[in-house]
């Protein structure tokens, strides 16, 4: 195929491959979000009920009672313990590409976001797999792709609080180097664990699991001063019981803050002194965790000794990552992708 014909048939995909959710946008207007999970029948009855060897995404989660659920990403990176784990990731990625409805002659070019400090080995593994399902793949760091989408590529710090990792990136007008990025393994899943323990400490009689803790968190999450009491209906011995969860929610959500603040301080100091005041006014939170109430004010207060900070949260934490990845894919031709990160197929 000639270069011109190839360009005509290019399907660009922006993929935010997350621990809990994968968000995708294409240059033909497709956008979708799915749980990053693959379900396999537990036995022959499950296979009969399902009628196929596996199912991907929210559908799998809904059928979880008779499926083995596998999450291919842990702490934001591919689990690489066994071939089985890699197969799970392959099934997820194949499903994502199929859902984007490529035509038979399309050249599929995907930009995939991963945690800021994902190891070289892990990126290579992801690229190897991506190459089986797309023609060209570029792996970039999650916060960088958010920054690209928001047109904030200079004098900015982006913090993406996901499920598995919190990723920070200092944007200095160049492709971020490893020193400009931090990945913390405390994020949404860690808050769920902390919250489950904090609630059980106070109310050992409650039937708790991580799904319940996550639901409590997503309904009431806050840091700093609560806007009012948070009451949740749990189950104890099969009966409904209402409990005040204000304090456990505060403790669990605030458990993320010290590491985030420390990492912001480190990244802030890495800018030239004349830019630091501007950077302080360009601190942006993204990812599902940016929905924590009071987050921007809390961070601003805790950075007071550095000056008057301006902290904001993105408008659309679900899709801003893949929107940025798609924009990058469309604006920068694949022949330049090698300058941006790890590439397969170009």
The residue from 50, 187, 309, 314 that contacts ligand ATP (CB under 6 A) is 187
Q: First and final CA of the chain: distance in angstroms? A: 15
The residue from 41, 288, 294, 334 that contacts ligand ATP (CB under 6 A) is 288
18 binds Mg ion (CB under 5 A): yes
115 binds Mg ion (CB under 5 A): no
With CB under 5 to 8 Å by kind, the binding choice for 107 among Mg ion, ligand ATP, none is none
Instruction: Please report which helix (H) or strand (E) contains residue 145, including its range.
Output: helix 142-149
188 binds Mg ion (CB under 5 A): no
Least distance in angstroms from the C-beta of 299 to Mg ion: 19
Using alpha carbons, select from 334, 342, 336 the residue that is nearest to residue 135. 334
φ, ψ at 177 (rounded to 5°): -90, 165
Least distance in angstroms from the C-beta of 166 to Mg ion: 10
Segment contacting Mg ion by CB under 5 A, of 57-65, 144-152, 160-168, 242-250? 160-168
Residue 274, C-beta contacts closer than 8 angstroms, at least 6 positions apart:
none
Q: Pairing state of beta strands 166-172 and 154-161?
A: antiparallel
Alpha-carbon distance 255 to 223, whole Å? 9
Least distance in angstroms from the C-beta of 254 to ligand ATP: 12
**Of 140 and 208, which CB lies nearer to Mg ion in the complex structure?**
140
Alpha-carbon distance 104 to 346, whole Å? 19
- Strand-pair partners of 157: 170, 283
**Of 18 and 176, which CB lies nearer to ligand ATP in the complex structure?**
18
20 binds ligand ATP (CB under 6 A): yes
Using alpha carbons, select from 163, 166, 169, 164 the residue that is nearest to residue 140. 169
72 binds ligand ATP (CB under 6 A): no
Applying CB under 6 A, the residues found at the interface with ligand ATP are 18-21, 73, 76, 142, 162-165, 187-189, 214, 217-218, 221, 287-289, 291-292, 317
């Amino acid at each position: 195929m000639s270069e011109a014909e190839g360009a005509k048939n290019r399907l660009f995909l922006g993929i935010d491959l997350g621990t809990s959710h994968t968000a995708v946008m294409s240059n033909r207007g497709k956008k979708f979000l799915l749980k990053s999970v693959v379900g396999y029948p537990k036995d022959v009855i499950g296979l009969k009920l399902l009628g196929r060897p596996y199912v991907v995404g929210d559908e799998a989660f809904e059928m979880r009672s008779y499926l083995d659920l596998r999450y291919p990403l842990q702490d934001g990176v591919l689990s690489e313990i066994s071939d089985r784990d890699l197969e799970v990731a392959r099934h997820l990625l194949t499903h994502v590409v199929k859902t984007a409805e490529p035509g038979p002659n399309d050249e599929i070019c995907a930009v995939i976001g991963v945690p800021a400090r994902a190891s070289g080995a892990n990126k290579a593994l992801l690229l190897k797999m991506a190459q089986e399902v797309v023609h060209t793949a570029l792996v970039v760091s999650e916060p960088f792709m958010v920054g690209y989408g928001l047109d904030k590529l200079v004098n900015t710090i982006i913090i993406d609080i996901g499920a598995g990792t919190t990723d920070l990136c200092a944007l200095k007008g160049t492709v971020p180097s490893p020193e400009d990025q931090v990945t913390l393994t405390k994020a949404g899943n860690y808050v769920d664990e902390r919250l489950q323990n904090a609630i059980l400490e106070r109310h050992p009689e409650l039937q708790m699991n991580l799904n319940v803790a996550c639901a409590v968190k997503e309904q009431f999450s806050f840091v700093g001063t609560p806007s009012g009491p948070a009451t949740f209906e749990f189950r104890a011995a099969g009966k409904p019981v209402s409990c005040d969860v204000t304090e456990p929610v505060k403790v669990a959500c605030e458990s993320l803050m010290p590491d985030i603040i420390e990492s912001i301080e480190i990244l802030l100091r890495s800018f030239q002194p004349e830019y630091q005041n501007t950077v302080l006014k360009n601190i942006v939170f993204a990812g599902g965790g940016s929905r924590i109430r009071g987050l921007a004010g809390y961070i601003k207060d805790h950075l007071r000794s550095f000056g008057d900070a301006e902290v904001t949260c993105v408008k659309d934490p679900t899709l801003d990552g893949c929107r940025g990845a798609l924009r990058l894919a469309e604006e920068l031709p694949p022949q330049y992708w090698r300058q941006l990160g790890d590439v397969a197929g170009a």
